[in-house]
Amino acid sequence: MSDFIPGLGVVSQVVVVVAAFSALIFVHELGHYLAAVLTGVRVERFFIGFDVFGLALKKECKGTVYGIGILPLGGYCALAGQNDDPRKERQTGAPDELQSKPLWARALVFGGGVVMNFIFGFLVLVAAYMYGIPFIPAALGALDPTGPAAVHGLKPGDRILSVDGKPVESFEEAAEAIALSGAGGEVEIEVSRALPDAPVEREKLAFRVKGRASSLRGNLNTIGAEPARSRIIAGIVDDPAFDRSLKGKLAAGDEILAVNGVELPENMGHLLPGMLENKPGGMVDLTIRDGRDDTVRDVRAPLETYGEWDMGMRVGVSILNVMRDGPADRAGFRKGDLVVACQRPRDDEPLRFAKVKDFQDIVNESALRCVKVNFTRDGKELAALVTPRFLINSADVDPETDTLLGVIGVMEGDSGFRVDRVVPESPSDGIMSAGDYLTGLNDKPLPVGMSLREMVEDASSEKVRYYIRRESENGGARAPFEGVVDANLLVELAPRILEEYRRPMIGVDLAQGPVVAVEPGSFADRELGGLQTLQGGRLAMIQYSPDLASVTIGLAFPDGKGGNAVKRLTADTPESIVDAPLAAGLRSRLPVSLKTAEEVIPLSFAPAVAAAGRKWVDLSLMVYRVIHKLIVRTLPLDAIGGPVQLFRIIKIADDRGFAYFLYIVALISVNLGVCNLLPFPVLDGGHLVFLLIEWLIGRPPPLAVREAAQWVGIVCLLTLMLTVTGFDIFYLFTGAG
């Protein structure tokens, strides 16, 4: 949008939102107006915007007052003899009053606004498709290695063809279909994948993927996948060191064609981190297509180094929250405790850590085995024993997946646990197969109502006996194992935690705590001032110079006013780290972000009409799908949005161009029409319901009934509007969603 209102930023977005909303209201009210004129109903007032303080521009013509109000957030079409408040209706019996018209005419007048919204939305969609709507293809980019997509076998580069049998063309459509399946919902995903020996050819594959709740607004269902990235630079990291070194070399809009002489495939920008992560402190040779004049040039640019090594600072780990009835809660931990060390059975003495991850790794390695944890509370150092476990209610872990055996599947009641996939290099690899059913363990059938992980945890030891039902090669079931119904195979497996599934498992939310100790003779002791300088500070940042010669750390100290003051300390990076940065755990990246991959395919008139028709139907039904999900509570109420969400949508349109803005206007127009058809008395749908009742019983509903229904409708709508606006404000200030 800023293309046609340049240089106004937020002001332009406000102007465009108001203009778009006013245009949609005008279209809606124009529908009522045209239907009234067509049926001979007199229009008393036709206004766009509200007449506040009598300052509207007005003009009377042939008995109708036309006006433009100074508050451009609505509009209305006042018809003779009609009022939204039944008590204020004044009919004189004149033939040009609404109530004097037959039922079909009144239905046409009340439905005229909705019809116009539908027609307008369809026409705008046609224009958008002809202009060329930019869309993000449904190709997978980077995957969360522990997320459902990766766990169930999807790979970067896969292109989603359908979700639960519904074809999808864009990543947004795929994400919407997955989100509406409900947090933790299972979806069938069909993808096309390039063949290893013939990248041009693709094969179709189907996966059953059980999602998990996202951390976004509404805890929508997600599979842990990002869209494919383009090669086009979206921005440069906000760091003065790189601002200077990259100035004149890289800029937003430039396209990275090759990295160190190796071509970066188009729409495969997610490969860039893997191509550069093993060169900390180094430089990279890039082939760039300039985003301004399309010239191609070679650029040598520094890489940003990130990561930490053991500087000798020992920190406490702050407990921000304790999950009720979790292992930490049962062990006696409280919010505000500061963990300072822990000791596993094999350790000779308590281990102090340098960061939260060190503590998490120690705990995760010790799943199902008791760990001694040292912590401070009220100035005293205490100790407690805790047994880490998988947290069944954690949004990070699929409750139907057993990450101790390495099998992915679903509990199917009395049938047992259906194995859909076996994780490579897990205890079950080479022993169990997709299609097997686990039916018992340790001489007992699987109890109904528990997840497999709970059962494995309860039975865990060095070896656990598992009973499996597997179809024989001729299609018949083998003879059942004696003592366990429908089991025919017996295996013994030693449960263990797989590296890719390691999660915090004592039921606490953690944060990096302050420095509590410094190793004598360490880098922190020699170069950073030792415990006297560092004690009580929380590590806020660590930054390396582009050549890795120096390192700057930021420590946040309480300022006594409820905030923090950051103290920066800079020192030469030790030669041992400069000489072997990879061994020290450092990695590198190009200090830029890449745009998502987008495709723009302008259509001629006939294909645009067909595409607009399909999208119009989908947008119309989407409202009802969302309402259904809200009613059955697979979609929480805070997933829907109000005015702030509208501004966010407009911001997306601003970033993606005029055609996408047209698409958003069409979406809102269709949604406005569908929502006005809902059977609330104050909406057009409510009026149509009253007309239906009048047709069925032969007379209008009693005034008392209409008045009561009107108030109920007003209360419901106001409650909904206040609720979604409240969620908007909450998420605006908390930064979520």
d(CA 520, CA 532): 12
List the catalytic residues.
Answer: 29
pLDDT of residue 6: 44
Residue-wise pLDDT for 63-114, tens only, equals 888 888 777 766 778 888 776 666 666 666 788 888 888 989 989 999 999 9
Q: Contact 440/432 with Cβ under 8 angstroms? A: no
* Phi, psi angles (nearest 5°) of residue 159: -110, 120
Residues 6+ apart with CB under 8 A from 310: 354, 522
Distance from C-alpha of 374 to C-alpha of 85, rounded to nearest angstrom: 69
Q: Give SS3 for 125.
A: helix
Q: What stretches in the chain show pLDDT beneath 70?
A: 1-13, 73-74, 83-92, 183-184, 198-200, 215-219, 240-241, 243, 367-368, 390-404, 448-451, 453-454, 457-463, 471-488, 494, 496-505, 628-630, 632-656, 720, 724-737
**Beta strand extents in 412-549 (DSSP E only):** 417-422, 437-441, 444-445, 464-469, 489-493, 508-518, 538-544
Contact status, residue 49 vs residue 68, Cβ threshold 8 Å: yes
Please answer whether residues 510 and 320 qualify as being in contact, where contact means their C-beta atoms are separated by less than 8 angstroms: yes
End-to-end CA distance of the chain: 23
Q: Which of 191, 537, 180, 496 shows the shortest CA–CA distance to 366?
A: 496
d(CA 68, CA 49): 6
Instruction: Tell me which amino acid residue 383 is.
Output: A
Alpha carbon distance 313, 332 (integer Å):
27
3-state helix, strand, coil in the chain (%, to 5): 35, 30, 35
Q: Decide if 406 contacts 423 (C-beta within 8 A).
A: yes
β strands within 625-701, DSSP E: none
Domain extents in the chain: 10-42+80-130+616-734, 137-227, 313-390+504-581, 407-417+430-495
Is the distance from CB of 268 to CB of 309 less than 8 angstroms?
no
pLDDT of residue 115: 92
In what helix (H) or strand (E) does residue 297 lie, and over which residues does it extend?
Answer: strand 296-302
Q: Give me the amino acid identity at 382.
A: L
Homologous superfamily of the 137-227 domain (CATH): PDZ domain (2.30.42.10)
Is residue 543 within 8 A of residue 280, CB to CB? The reply is no
Beta-bridged to residue 421, according to DSSP, are 408
Residue-by-residue DSSP string for 344-376: -TT-SSPBPBSSHHHHHHHHHHTTTS-EEEEEE
Q: Please choose, from the candidates 85, 20, 22, the residue with its C-alpha nearest in 3D space to the C-alpha of residue 49.
A: 22
* C-alpha pair distances (Å), 367 with each of 219, 428, 496, 716: 27, 18, 8, 50
Find tokens 């939310």 and name the residue.
509
- What is residue 521's predicted lDDT score, i.e. its pLDDT? 93
Q: What is the Cα–Cα distance from 553 to 565, expressed in whole angstroms?
A: 13
* Strand 64-68, strand 43-50: pairing: parallel
d(CA 602, CA 129): 6
The CB-side HSE value for 711 (13 A sphere, CA atoms) comes to 6
What does the alpha-carbon distance between residue 367 and residue 113 come to, in Å, rounded to a whole number?
A: 62
| Residue reference for tokens 């030693």 | 494
Cα distance between residue 723 and residue 500, in whole Å: 40
CA dist., res. 666 & res. 516, Å (int): 58
Give the pLDDT of residue 623. 74
The values of phi and psi at residue 16, to 5°, are: -70, -40
Residues paired with 518 in a beta bridge: 313
Return the closest-CA partner of residue 68 out of 115, 19, 105: 19
Q: Which amino acid is at 541?
A: M
- Residue 275 has phi, psi (to 5 degrees) of -80, -15
Residue 176 CA to residue 163 CA, distance in Å, equals 10
| CA distance to 119, 125, 134, 598, 664, per residue, from 610 (Å) | 14, 10, 18, 22, 18
Closest CA to 540 of 552, 524, 531, 522: 552
* H or E segment to which residue 314 belongs: strand 313-322
Supply the pLDDT for residue 497: 58
DSSP state of 520: T
pLDDT value for 5? 44
DSSP state of 402: B
Q: What tokens were used for 171?
A: 């990543």
Task: Calculate the alpha carbon distances from 232 to 134, 253, 350, 403 in Å.
Answer: 15, 6, 49, 38
pTM: 0.64
Q: Are 553 and 528 in contact (CB under 8 A)?
A: yes
Mapped onto helix, strand or coil, the DSSP state of residue 622 is helix
- 313-390+504-581: same fold as 137-227? yes
For residue 1, the model assigns a pLDDT of 45
CA–CA separation, 644 and 654 (whole Å): 15
- pLDDT for res 189: 92
Give the architecture (CATH level 2) of 313-390+504-581: Roll (2.30)
Q: Which pLDDT value is given to residue 460?
A: 59
Contacts of 228 (CB under 8 A, 6+ apart): 136, 137, 139, 140, 141, 156, 157, 171, 267, 268, 269, 270, 596, 597
* Per-residue DSSP letter, 563: S
